[in-house]
Structure 1
Amino acid sequence: MTSLKEECSHFIQMEASVTQEKKWERTGTIYQILMALCANVVVLGPAMGFGYSAVAESAMRANKTDGDLQLDANQVNWMATVSALGTPIGCLLSSVVMGQGRKISMFVTSLISMAGWVIIYMSNSYIQILVGRSISGISTGMASVPTTVYAAEIAGSKWRGSMVTWTSISIALGVLIVYIFGYIFQDNWRLVALICALFPLCAIALTLLVVPESPLWLRDRNRPDEALEIMKRFRGIPKDQPAPAEVLFELKPRLQKKNQNVLKHLMKKSSLVPFSIMLSFFFFQQFSGIFVVIYNAVGIMARSGVKVDPFLGAVLIGIARFIASLLTAGVSRKFGRRIPSMISGIGMMIFMGGLSLYLFLAEKGTVMADNGVVPVICMVMYIFTSTLGFLVIPFAMVGEVFPSKVKDILSGMTVAIGYLFSAITIKTYPDMEKLMNMHGVFLFFAIMSLIGAIFILLFLPETKGKTLREIEDMFSTKKKTFELQSMEK
């Protein structure tokens, strides 16, 4: 009888322990989600820079009776281009600033973003607008990496696949918000800029008062006590409880050879392989025309035979992108990276190719009985399918695929080069349109989308369900390390 009582007592203790662990996991997940959401508020202000030129263009080019600034077509194109040129500078700058901490990086990003919007609002000359747009573009580049890296470092393996896509959701939301402001205040580009400045102001308050530092960054700076304290919070473990083995394993420093500098880490296969893959992915992302459409949404809608208000059409594009970004978080968690990316590339090819064919037939004199509905559907669905993979997943993966020792450098450098591709496509778009007509440009984008889908099929690795440590080993030649870690777990 005594033995039976002991077994029952032992069973009850085990049940209590399992219940407690589930409660900890639930508490930790809620905290991870809240902090990731707070961190992503940082992205909203800089992201509005993507859509600002689209909604401000017509107001800046309109004839002025009050003596306010008036720009010509070339100046408006440079207004979009300088922002895109500032973005890669911001990415490189973020690599430097992130070394001082993820929290510091997010604070500096918001400060620069607010400065850019205030300068645009107060501009009395074309040069001042360019300065403000350049500063705004720098903040856009700075915002792209730290929040993704932060989310990847604080999230558990179950939720990381979704949480690293939230940066792209925030970018989509920022673009949608500025499109809505542009639709409401079509003739007042200054007021739109002033409203945009309020978002980085909120982000500064959240960063300083709410968001904690990344525990993995603290670990790599030899601050293990602080790292453990914050990591326990992210895993829902009470302060008075000892940390479980899996938490200690997450914070276990990588064994490194002595006197091995950063350059040697950069030359490792575990750094070079993901760097090459991600650069190629960003190349196909940009040359498939995604950012050209986002930066020039209103103008493209007006010239594509669309019968609705171009500003309203831009809002529809923004809504499609935002909804697809939300779906991507769930789709990515369930299906990983490769399948959504391939579907995205094929969908972009179909809808951009369809729009190209429509415009070609219209130019040849074919009378369309759709009242301009087909171009709207093609444009909205192109943005929708692009967001399911090509637009979101490359940004999500830069927070995952690089080793911790060089993550700050390579993640910033990769996104910087990606945005440099963006600046090239945005600046050359008017010249391509003159040379190839709009249907020719869209056919080029469709072909690049298809080639990108083939590249993903052949080369893009799957990171779904893997810890950051396992992903690093996946690109390394040291397979035994991966096996040893699996045994340790």
Structure 2
Amino acid sequence: MVSVIDINNTNEHIDINNRRTDIDNSIELTNVNNIMNEQMDIDNKHISTCVDIRRTSRIAEEEKWERNGVIYQILMGLCANVVVLTPGMGVGYYGVAQPAMTAPKTDDLQLDANQANWAATTFALTIPLGCLLTSPVMERGRKLSMVMASLISVAGWVTIYLAKSYEVLLVGSSISGISTGMAAAPATIYAAEIAEPKWRGTMVTWTSLYFSIGGLLVYIFGYIFKNDWRLVALMCAIFPVVSIALTLLVMPESPLWLRDQNRPEEALKIMKKFRGIPKDQPAPAEVLFELKPQSQEKDRNLLKHLMKRSSLVPFVIMNSYFLFQQFSGTFLVTYNVVTIMEKSGIQIDPYIGAILIGVARLIASFLATEVCRRLGVRIPSIISGIGMTIFIGGLSLYLFLAEKGTVISDKGIIPTTCMMLFIFTNTLGYLTIPFAMVGEIYPSKVKDILSNVTVSICYLVSAITVKIYPDMERLMHMYGVYFFFGIVSLIGLIFIIFFLPETKGKTLSEIEDMFSKKKVSELSAEKVVGEIPSIPNRVDSLEN
């Protein structure tokens, strides 16, 4: 018979074993949990690493897209502006051709001073006609407008080259003027429509850059062929042919023009290329928003759009700026560059002086591109107004003292420096900025019309200044003419300080909003975002 003590001992032994088992189980469970936690930490680290890798890859891919898009925008902007080389040549052509046209000769057409002045004036007078013709042509395509301008330009230069009479020369001048007017706006508008907001301020200044290159080229041709104005015209005819080839073979149509023609699929395809987005990737929301037409009231006709505040205010501002541009001597010096060099106390070959002016203008145009990108349009315009006032005023004072008998032993250094710096500062702002702004400051609904009307008025005033210049010189002497330029530059500076808006970094919709009483684009943006919640942006599309 088992004793009670043995039973108790046995039970205690079982309890001990059970406790040991519980402890062993607890230890084993703890070890398992620890192992699982360690494994989960490893998995989480692995997942985090994968996410970081994907995010890094995504950022690199997005940067590559943006870089490709910017490169494509720049290349197409450069190609588009080749059409502007010929206007630059046209404006400078009579400055170097008039001395050869009026030089005594027996074997070629000879003009008197009045006829030579009328040839240049005819060219300037027909530029506004070309500007007005551009509007209906641009409605049929930005590319078509550039091709038409180049074709007419070739016809004009060839007519001048072949002219055997004064009347035919005037016809050639008229045709060249029309082509110049037709080329003035399309390149700027095309660049403004294809560029991202942060690059638009740079790309729209390229019109003035190419204009300066064209002017320098014709000055060089004038120096090489001093006595052959026909050959200079023939050399000028080469460049519109190059423009035609680039426009037809290389450049795509403006995506915003395609959008306005109810061709959204083509517009989206081209806009994706301009933004560097691969064909197989969905378009980000910001691209879709760029291609969304501006909300307009259906019952409003074109006249009512023209009478809106967002159209009238920039129209007044831009035409005022162009008025100061023309009467400060911006184009007048270009149209009469050789004769002005001869009468400004500059003691070098006037054709070399013209080339120096062309070089100064070209350097300033390059700088203006970067300055506008960094500083916008107001600061360069202010710097330009200050510089022009100082340097043309200094040249006026120099010529006044020289005419009154004061002997200045500077060997022509002072007038050369003043003229070069006047042209340099003029190009930084007064010459460059207005033409750059017409491509972006007007609402899209009336941009084609108002931009061309504005440039037309500019060139009409230019023709007036060219025609009255001989009378101004006779009545006021050269120092009086330069003093007048200085006063206009100063008044223009005051206008810029108080009234010129800044467009740097703004989208075209935001620029339109600056002049509107109602900020409708913000509502439009909210509406668009609400309509396309499922459209991924670049980041989301890569993560998925």
TM range (shorter): over 0.9
Aligned residue among 57, 67, 81 for 1:40: 81
1:174-253 maps to which residues of 2 (within 5 A)? 174-253=214-293
Contact map agreement 2:156 2:173 (CA 8 A) in 1: yes
Partner deviation per Cα, 1:308-359 (whole Å, 9 max, x = no partner): 0000000000000010000000000111100100110110111110111111
Aligned residue in 2 for 1:330: 370
After superposition, the C-alpha distances for 1:14-69 in whole angstroms (9 at most, x for unaligned) are 22111111000000111111101111111112320011101111111111132x10
Give runs of aligned pairs for residues 79-90 of structure 1, distance below 5 A. 79-90=119-130
Which residue number in structure 2 is paired with residue 255 of structure 1?
Answer: 295
Distance 2:134 2:72 in 1: 25
Q: Quick one: which of 131, 140, 150 aligns to 1:100? A: 140
Instruction: Give the letter aligned to residue 203 of structure 2.
Output: M
Counterpart residue type for residue 294 of structure 1? T
2:215 aligned with 1:148? no
Residue 487 and residue 327 in structure 1: after superposition, are their counterparts in 2 closer, same or farther (change >3 A)? farther
Q: Does 1:91 align with 2:131?
A: yes
Q: Is the 8 A contact 1:473 1:482 kept in 2?
A: no
- Confirm or deny that 1:302 pairs with 2:354: no
Residue 476 of structure 2 is matched in structure 1 by: 436
Structure-1 residue corresponding to 2:513: 473
Judged with a 3 Å threshold, the aligned counterparts in structure 2 of structure 1 residues 228 and 488 are, in CA distance, closer, same or farther, namely closer
1:279 aligns with 2:319: yes
In the alignment, residue 40 of structure 1 is paired with which amino acid? N
Q: Does 1:3 align with 2:21?
A: no
The residue number in structure 2 matching 1:51 is 92
Aligned counterpart for 2:432 among listed residues 392, 396, 413? 392
| Higher deviation after alignment, 251-260 or 194-203 | 251-260
Query: Aligned match of 2:200 in 136, 147, 160?
Result: 160
CA displacement at 1:8 relative to structure 2: 2.1
Aligned to 2:161: 121
Name the residue aligned to 1:13. Answer: 54
Of 37-46 and 445-454, the range deviating more from structure 2: 37-46
Given that 1:344 and 1:390 are in contact with CA atoms closer than 8 Å, whether structure 2 keeps it comes out as yes
Deviation at 1:482, TM superposition (A): 3.7
TM-score (norm 1): 0.98
> SS of 1:442's equivalent?
helix
Q: Is the partner of 1:121 in helix, strand or coil?
A: helix
Distance 1:112 1:74 in 2: 26
Number of residue-to-residue matches in the alignment: 488
Partner of 1:171: 211
Q: Is the deviation greater in 371-380 or in 400-409?
A: 371-380
In the TM superposition, residue 485 of structure 1 has moved relative to its aligned partner by: 3.8
- C-alpha separation in 1, matches of 2:524 and 2:106: 74
Larger radius of gyration: 2
Contact 2:289/2:528, CA 8 A, preserved across alignment: no
Unaligned stretches of 5+ in structure 2?
Answer: 1-41, 530-544
Partner of 2:463: 423
For residues 97-131 of structure 1, give each alpha carbon's deviation from its aligned partner in whole angstroms, at most 9, with x where no partner exists.
11111000000010011111000000000111111
Match of 1:28 among 41, 60, 69: 69
Partner SS state of residue 356, structure 1: helix
Question: Do the aligned partners of 2:295 and 2:524 also contact (CA within 8 Å) in 1?
Answer: no
Amino acid at match of 1:391: L
Cα separation, 2, equivalents of 1:51 and 1:459: 31
Query: Which range moves more in the overlay, 10-19 or 264-273?
Result: 10-19
Deviation at 1:480, TM superposition (A): 5.8
2:380 aligned residue: 340
Other structure's SS at 2:279 match: coil
Cα pair distance change 1:240/1:399, threshold 3 Å: same
What's the secondary structure of 1:392's corresponding residue? helix
Distance 1:335 1:440, change over 3 A: same
Of the three residues 158, 163, 175, the one matched with 1:135 is 175
Q: Per-residue deviation at 1:11?
A: 2.2
1:12 and 1:290 map into 2 onto residues whose CA distance is 56
1:486 Cα offset (Å): 8.2
Residue 306 of structure 1: CA displacement? 1.5
* Match among 393, 412, 423 for residue 452 of structure 2: 412
**Letter matched to residue 270 of structure 1:** S
Aligned letter for 2:426? S
Q: Is the 8 A contact 1:88 1:420 kept in 2?
A: yes
SS state of the match for residue 227, structure 2? coil
Measured in 2, the distance between the counterparts of 1:311 and 1:94 equals 34
Q: Please say which of residues 371-380 and 158-167 is displaced more in the overlay.
A: 371-380
Q: TM-score of the superposition, structure 2-length normalised?
A: 0.88
Q: Secondary structure at the match of 1:316?
A: helix
- The gaps in structure 1 that reach 5 residues or longer are none
Q: Work out the CA distance in 2 between the residues paired with 1:367 and 1:58.
A: 29
Residue in 2 that maps onto 1:462: 502
SS of match in other structure, 1:389: helix
Q: Which string of whole-angstrom CA distances, capped at 9 and with x for unpartnered residues, describes residues 173-231 of structure 1?
A: 00000000000110111111001000001111111111110000000111000000000
Partner in structure 2 of residue 61 of structure 1: 102
Q: Partner letter of residue 205 of structure 1?
A: A
Q: For residue 488 of structure 1, report the CA deviation from its aligned partner.
A: 7.3
User: Any conservation in 1 of the 2:510–2:521 contact (CA below 8 Å)?
Assistant: no
Question: Any idea what the Cα deviations from partners look like across 1:272-291, whole Å, max 9, x if unmatched?
Answer: 11111001000000011111
**Residue type of the partner of 2:303?**
L
Alpha-carbon deviation of 1:473? 1.0
Are residues 471 and 367 of structure 1, via their aligned partners in 2, closer, same or farther at CA, if it must alter by over 3 Å?
Answer: same
Partner Cα separation in structure 1 for residue 483 and residue 125 of structure 2: 25
Evaluate the alpha carbon distance shift between residue 299 and residue 486 of structure 1 in structure 2; reply closer, same or farther with a 3 A threshold. farther
Q: Which secondary structure state, in structure 2, belongs to the residue aligned with residue 451 of structure 1?
A: helix
CA RMSD, Structure 1 to Structure 2 (Å)? 1.3
CA positional deviation for 1:138: 1.1
Q: Equivalents in 1 of 2:101, 2:115: separation in Å?
A: 10
Letter in 1 for 2:289: F
The match for 1:375 among 390, 415, 435 is 415
Q: More displaced, 9-18 or 394-403?
A: 9-18
- Name the CA shift for 1:444/1:487 in 2 (closer, same or farther; >3 Å): farther
* 8 Å CA contact 1:351, 1:378 repeated in 2: yes
